Structure 1
Amino acid sequence: MQAAGPPEALAAPPASVPFGEALKFWLRLGFISFGGPAGQIAIMHRELVEQKRWISERRFLHALNYCMLLPGPEAQQLATYIGWLMHRTWGGIVAGALFVLPSLFILVALSWVYLVYGEVDWVAGLFYGIKPAVAAIVLHAVWRIGSRTLRSPRQVPLLWAIALASFACIAWWKLPFPLVVAAAALAGVAGARIAPAQFAAGGGHGKADKRWGPALIDDHTPTPSHARFRRTRLAQVVGVGAVLWLLPMALLVVTQGFEGTLARMGWFFTKAALLTFGGAYAVLPYVYQGAVEQYQWLTGAQMIDGLALGETTPGPLIMVVAFVGFVGGWTRQVLGPDALFAGAALAATVVTWFTFLPSFLFILAGGPLVESTHGDLRFTAPLTAITAAVVGVIGSLALFFLLHIAQARPALGLPVDGVALAIAAAAALALFHFKAGVIPVIAACALLGMALRLSGAA
């Protein structure tokens, strides 16, 4: 059945959007952007394309497909891109920053509650139920990303081989995540020459075939001058970005030394930001390797709890790094034992700054340049291979979570925690079969976990 055309009221494009009006929208988006990347992109599409008509569907999807080629949170980068397209550099900065800041403040507050009151029975019960739900959510992420990238093993056997190899490299051989990403990229470069048809599989978002009426930035609206590539502008943005990275890092090194916790966090999460191909789930194994195993800023159980908090707050899921920073700053007492909260909040802010700074640079500096290479197999094949590797990496993360929640419960005389596994199975059924949303699944599992803990059954 063919959709009806736009009503007469939509015959003319909307008037130009003042910067203040856009600012109010980006602030509101920061508080309502639940549901992970898919939910956040859906919210922006409904608001910006269908209702406000600030940008056409084709231009929206063009921006989205570009953001998907970059490391970092694609929904936050999409907001930055559209803000930049509409209101130049400050428009992009405001849009991207307001997508993150509400989540930072909320996570700082929830992290404090977690550390101070986490041992209280009903709070512990909530997290007991949430952990299996998170394991099911990660499994669902493996399926969601894998179904988009891998297709049939007969069609793309090389991509399947890359996915399985990356799973083994992380789960059994404990190889560093950056090494896995680099190997996958090299495989993509070679694959583009050996079997180009397999690596032409991309993660597009469909055809731009719907119309919602004329848009302010429409299909044939000329690219604004500030969005065209110029070497001088590229040099300026990269230079400012380098200063914005060097000054905070220098301050941390001068005040606490390069071996200090905050300086190490800044350096570590800069590297993590450059490796987030495929979204937050892809970089979590790398964060786990560094934050839990190498630096011991937090425990594995706390990492799972942090991911649960990240799933239940607005903003990009990669904001779980703010929880990692908060817990690490608290346990390492970065500002001394008398300023635990201030030190932890500072660490969360430092981690957020170094994690998201590259995302802004990718859009503000690289947007015009990288957009011109979209669809070039030499450019997209390595990224397709990386996405295939990401499927295996997330699979290893799911295995880790399942093994963790299944650990024996000596206090109850159980060799394995069958209750937690049953909750995980129920959550997986809700996600896969009933297509339930992430937030309702987490809420139901949290309430179930609290009831079991208070009743003594867990």
Structure 2
Amino acid sequence: MNDSSYSLRALALYFLRLGALGFGGPIALAGYMQRDLVERERWITKDEYVEGLALAQLAPGPLAAQLATYLGWVRGGVFGATLISVAFILPSFLMVVALSAAYLRFGGLEWIKGLFYGIGAAVIAIIARSVVKLAKMTLIKDRLLWAVFAINAGVTAWTESEIVWLFLASGLLLFFLRGRPTGPLATPGVSAMFPLDIVVTGLSGAASNETLWRIGLFFAEGGAVVFGSGLAIVPFLHGGVVNEHHWLTERQFLDAVAVAMITPGPVVITVAFIGYLVAGPLGATIAALGVFLPCYLFVVIPAPYFKRYAKNPSISAFVSGVTAAATGAIAGAGFVLGRRALLDAPTVIIAAVTLLALMKLKKAPEPLVILGAGAVGLLLRGWS
């Protein structure tokens, strides 16, 4: 049994620390929660953890943030879920905002370009490694899931965007083949509240009210429809940010993904970097709220009813199909980004060495590996 003597404050302090120091992406963060909260402190029971993980996989949005929200709900209801969500997300959000300000101020300098020349190549290696890990964990030797994976990877690579209906179709395919049950079953402009242009100033100057609303709607859509780990949102963001709205260039988008990789906490916090480049601090805040609010609601609203359906075979089948689709989309996004990041022989070598280091040195911290790649890029290009 879990120890009920601890306070919600202690749990919030734990997630504040995890958000500030937890590197490695959603799979690693979920592993830290199991190790610390279930095995060491015994604050959360194994069943509660497994239920939270299942709900996080079923609902769209970033997996680690949703798991944290559910564990907060288990111990403190809606207030606990809100407190833990803020504690987990806030540290990485503040770090990304600071990095965004530095990037906006110094992004034109050659040493910054050189740094991200190497980091961009390293990010491709990390995406490739994540795809391999996700495939081993979720697809195993299931031929149908591998087919779903391959189709989604090919479509994402070809269209350079995420096809939401294909995700849903993948889930429904598994549902009908393996899990179908036998029985029946007018407002003022936002920027008017902030008279200082600096609050909404990005790469292209002060953002308009229309741009701020578009940012909110776009990132809310991402938080509401994207399944899987934090990297699963990359193809969706690429299609909208680069191809549809033209807010960022390919290089700037890759830099945004790199910033998320070198900061702790949820990988999806990259949206704050994108929002900052488009519309300054307010844009970063709107983007982060847009992504995390839907995932928060997708946990808090169904949580009271989820226990009775968590092990339903129909739900499990749908989740497996969506997960396979999300893994395929990540692979396709990695291919698209790789074509832009691997510009020449040095970047190919940096990516290969990074991938080898991550595979052989299993305890190597990803942020240190990425910063090392950035240092190499700086030496090769930044000072030329």
- Common fold: TM-score over 0.5: yes
2:263 aligned residue (313, 316, 339) = 313
Give the Cα separation in 2 of the matches to 1:18 and 1:131. 42
Question: Which residue does the alignment assign to 1:418?
Answer: 345
Residues 290-324 of structure 1 show CA distances to partners (whole Å, capped at 9, x for unaligned) of 11111111111111111111011121001111111
Give the Cα separation in 2 of the matches to 1:371 and 1:386. 21
> What amino acid maps onto 1:432 in structure 2?
M
Residues 324-380 of structure 1 show CA distances to partners (whole Å, capped at 9, x for unaligned) of 111111xxxxxxxxxxxxxx1001101111111112112211112233212212112
Is 2:360 the partner of 1:374?
no
Residues 416-449 of structure 1 show CA distances to partners (whole Å, capped at 9, x for unaligned) of x100000001011112233233223212211211
1:280 aligned residue (226, 230, 242) = 230
Give the Cα separation in 1 of the matches to 2:13 and 2:318. 38
Give the Cα separation in 2 of the matches to 1:402 and 1:159. 24
Is 2:149 the partner of 1:163?
yes
Residues 71-129 of structure 1 show CA distances to partners (whole Å, capped at 9, x for unaligned) of 22222122211222112211110001111111111111101111211232332221111
Structure 2 residue ranges without an equivalent (≥5):
194-206
1:262 aligned residue (209, 212, 215) = 212
1:434 aligned residue (361, 376, 379) = 361
Q: Give the alignment of 1:25-174 within 5 angstroms.
A: 25-152=14-141, 156-174=142-160
Task: Count residues in correspondence.
Answer: 366
Partner of 1:16, secondary structure, is coil
Residues 57-80 of structure 1 show CA distances to partners (whole Å, capped at 9, x for unaligned) of 343233223322222222212221
**Does structure 2 conserve the Cα–Cα contact (< 8 Å) formed by 1:282 and 1:394?**
yes
**Does structure 2 conserve the Cα–Cα contact (< 8 Å) formed by 1:26 and 1:94?**
no
Q: Displacement of 1:250 after TM fit? A: 4.8
> What amino acid maps onto 2:174 in structure 1?
G
Question: Relative to structure 1, is the Cα distance of residues 121 and 78 closer, same or farther in structure 2, using a 3 angstrom cutoff?
Answer: same
Give the Cα separation in 1 of the matches to 2:76 and 2:308. 21
> What amino acid maps onto 1:320 in structure 2?
T
Question: Which residue does the alignment assign to 2:290?
Answer: 354
Question: Relative to structure 1, is the Cα distance of residues 45 and 83 closer, same or farther in structure 2, using a 3 angstrom cutoff?
Answer: same
**Does structure 2 conserve the Cα–Cα contact (< 8 Å) formed by 1:66 and 1:371?**
no
> What amino acid maps onto 1:394 in structure 2?
I
Q: Displacement of 1:253 after TM fit? A: 7.0
**Does structure 1 conserve the Cα–Cα contact (< 8 Å) formed by 2:26 and 2:266?**
yes
**Does structure 2 conserve the Cα–Cα contact (< 8 Å) formed by 1:167 and 1:395?**
yes
Give the Cα separation in 2 of the matches to 1:369 and 1:251. 38
**Does structure 2 conserve the Cα–Cα contact (< 8 Å) formed by 1:285 and 1:397?**
yes
**Does structure 2 conserve the Cα–Cα contact (< 8 Å) formed by 1:169 and 1:180?**
no
Partner of 2:6, secondary structure, is coil
> What amino acid maps onto 2:353 in structure 1?
A
Question: Relative to structure 1, is the Cα distance of residues 31 and 253 closer, same or farther in structure 2, using a 3 angstrom cutoff?
Answer: closer
Aligned-residue identity in percent: 33
Structure 1 residue ranges without an equivalent (≥5):
1-11, 197-248, 330-343, 408-416
Q: Displacement of 1:282 after TM fit? A: 1.5
Partner of 1:34, secondary structure, is coil
Q: Displacement of 1:184 after TM fit? A: 1.3
Question: Which residue does the alignment assign to 2:275?
Answer: 325
Give the Cα separation in 2 of the matches to 1:54 and 1:139. 35
Question: Relative to structure 1, is the Cα distance of residues 49 and 193 closer, same or farther in structure 2, using a 3 angstrom cutoff?
Answer: closer
Give the Cα separation in 1 of the matches to 2:3 and 2:172. 46
Higher helix share: 2
2:374 aligned residue (418, 422, 446) = 446
Residues 127-160 of structure 1 show CA distances to partners (whole Å, capped at 9, x for unaligned) of 11101100001111111111112222xxx22222
Give the Cα separation in 1 of the matches to 2:36 and 2:235. 34
Instruction: Identify the range of structure 1 (398-407 vs 286-295) with the bigger mean alpha-carbon deviation.
Output: 398-407
Question: Relative to structure 1, is the Cα distance of residues 60 and 123 closer, same or farther in structure 2, using a 3 angstrom cutoff?
Answer: same
Question: Which residue does the alignment assign to 1:8?
Answer: none
Partner of 2:353, secondary structure, is helix
Q: Displacement of 1:174 after TM fit? A: 4.8
Cα RMSD of the aligned pairs, angstroms, is 2.5
Question: Which residue does the alignment assign to 1:365?
Answer: 301
Question: Relative to structure 1, is the Cα distance of residues 378 and 57 closer, same or farther in structure 2, using a 3 angstrom cutoff?
Answer: closer
**Does structure 1 conserve the Cα–Cα contact (< 8 Å) formed by 2:155 and 2:332?**
no
Q: What is the TM-score with the length of structure 2 in the denominator?
A: 0.88
Partner of 1:314, secondary structure, is coil
Q: What is the TM-score with the length of structure 1 in the denominator?
A: 0.74
Higher Cα Rg, which structure: 1
Question: Which residue does the alignment assign to 1:388?
Answer: 324
Instruction: Identify the range of structure 1 (93-102 vs 37-46) with the bigger mean alpha-carbon deviation.
Output: 37-46
